[in-house]
Chains A and B, each alone.
Chain A
Amino acid sequence: MTNIGNALGRGDFDVIASWVQPGERVLDLGCGDGSLLKLLIESRGARGYGIELENAATLAALKNGINVIQSNLEQGLAGFGDRTFDHVVLSRTLQTVRHTEKILGEMLRVGREAVISFPNFAYWKNRMAVMAGRMPVSEDLPYEWFDTPNLRFFTILDFEALCQKMSLAIRDRQVLDDAGSLVTEEHNFLGSVAVFRLGRD
């Protein structure tokens, strides 16, 4: 695994990069300034596109040299054919999407695999914050309750239950703490961010 993503403060990037093979086609939903795609292109020889809605991020992605398509996620996916991509990535964005099941279904329609990272609400520091009576604010949940773009607050166990309900196969799962180090036990308690690789059997 590389350490470039961790240097960017995004340990999940390195996990995602380790799952992408040279030449594979990647679609990054909510690509922001294109840092992840740039990493995948430069370190893994991937090809692909990012979808981004915000003007400033679209411009930043253009400046980063990646193929960026300005669109909301649902519209962006609707125009793409089945199995257009090897991996469809949704990094730290699922919690901001209203139609959770629909987006997961669409990701696995246009892509062979879906790669999803999200903040784990059951991380012990988050639990401590709630125990102390306040909503958690952390490296991985950096917003106050009143300005957060996050609509959904869920845990690793919640996500796995949804995968089971939707009959999505979990091909891989990596969990990181808030320092970006791999968590090897008590994932739902010690993990701040989870990265899943999903497919359909």
Chain B
Amino acid sequence: MTSLVQSPVPSRIQSVGAVSAQRVGFAEPLPLKSGAVLPAFELAFETYGSLNAAKDNAILVCHALSGHHHVAGHYADNPNNIGWWDNIVGPGRPFDTDRFFIVGLNNLGGCHGSTGPASSNPLTGKPWGADFPVVTVEDWVASQARLADHLGIDAWAAVIGGSLGGMQALQWTMSFPERIRNSLVIAAAPRLSAENIAFNDVARQAIITDPDFHGGHFYEHGVRPMRGLRLARMLGHITYLSDDQMAEKFGRRVKPGAGSYGFDVEFEIESYLRYQGDKFAGVFDANTYLRMTKALDYFDPAAAFENDLAAALASARAKFLVVSFTTDWRFSPARSREIVNALVKNGQDVSYAEIASAHGHDSFLMDEPHYHAVIEAYLRRVLP
């Protein structure tokens, strides 16, 4: 059928298009919270938009457990490799590249280009493996400050992250109060609960007990602990979804040939989780996964202040936007409210939105209109 309706004017709202990754080396040793010192390191990063003359329009996007520096756009030689938060970055989108200079990086200890366990240990010439130090959220923020120095950014207009990324956005306000004007803390928590840590440890045990793990030195054996990583991802994935969403997406639907009283894939949820596990195990580094979950477990800024989160945040100078999602049971709205209440107690500037969404913890990556409208409205306050 031929439509008589004229095609709409092409929207100005679009993806950033083709992007490319960069890498920068830092020769000055980085002291870590564990007491270890990283002699030198490299960070992989991407940028979108332009830093303005006043250098006051920079936004840092921090990634969560399995993320990286490829936040938005696609690579010219691989159009299908689209950034993990592409739906929010671009001209006319909430992270508006016409107004902001957006920076994404791969965190230290990662497996997408920044120095991590698979990198070469300068002392041995072999991969670090198990000897790569455990890095913390504080360490990441310290390394991100080096990246800011490299880019000529004195202070971020905003640091933004979801989940573990939100913890980095929060940590920035305490580690470098003068270098961050706004902190957007999304689907995060001020510390993990015992249940959160329990899930992380089951994931770690799945990896560590895989015979192919070899105490973390599997690279030199030419194998990877795929079974452990796969189980860790399957478990993690369950905690990212909501019961309602699983019921709607999969219910009790089965694949053809189900009901054979065996243990092959029968229910669609099994098929989905195994697919997600296999996909992840094929690309992700087991040592990185261990360290990311440990960084989550250790994050607890209130601990040094007699468990008083308000006291921990008292040094912050940033303004805050805290966002949570109704069906997120990994970091529920109540966890975000702990952050909000601490900031209110201090009389600090904070706004909070609780977004109705069916997608559980993963909601922060979804293109939910009210959620994006909230981010857009807040960032208009940051830079009109």
Contacts and interface: CB of A to CB of B under 8 A. Distances in A.
Interface in A60-98: 61-63, 65-71, 75, 79-81, 84
B340 A62 contact: no
Given A47-B347, A65-B381, A79-B340, A71 B354 contact: yes
Contact of A80 (B345, B356, B374): B345
A187 interface: no
B351 interface: yes
Contact of A71 (B345, B349, B350, B352): B352
A62 B337 contact: no
Centre residue among B347, B350, B351, B374 by max chain A CB count within 10 A: B351
B344 A68 contact: no
What band does the interface of chain B fall in when counting residues whose beta carbon is under 8 Å from A? 20 to 34
B341 interface: yes
A65 B340 CA distance: 17
B380 interface: yes
Interface in A156-197: none
Contact of A62 (B341, B347, B351): B351
Interface in A25-79: 25, 47, 49, 55, 58-59, 61-63, 65-71, 75, 79
Contacts of B352: 68-71
B378 interface: yes
Contacts of B337: 71, 75, 79
For the residues of B in contact with A, the DSSP-based class is helix
B373 interface: yes
Contact of A70 (B345, B353, B377): B353
Contacts of A65: 381
A105 to B, nearest CB: 19
Nearest to A55: B370
A62 B344 contact: no
A80 B377 contact: no
Given A63-B380, A79-B341, A58 B347 contact: no
A81 B370 CA distance: 30
Centre residue among B349, B352, B370 by max chain A CB count within 10 A: B352
Given A71-B354, A79-B337, A62 B345 contact: no
A16 B337 CA distance: 28
Contacts of A67: 349-351
11 contacts: A47-B347, A55-B370, A59-B374, A62-B374, A63-B377, A69-B350, A69-B351, A70-B352, A70-B354, A71-B352, A80-B345
Given A59-B377, A68-B351, A70-B352, 15 more contacts: A49-B344, A55-B370, A58-B353, A59-B370, A62-B353, A66-B351, A67-B349, A67-B351, A69-B344, A69-B351, A71-B337, A71-B352, A75-B337, A80-B344, A84-B344
Please list the 4 inter-chain residue pairs (A to B) with the smallest Cβ-Cβ separation, ordered nearest first: A79-B341, A62-B377, A69-B352, A70-B353
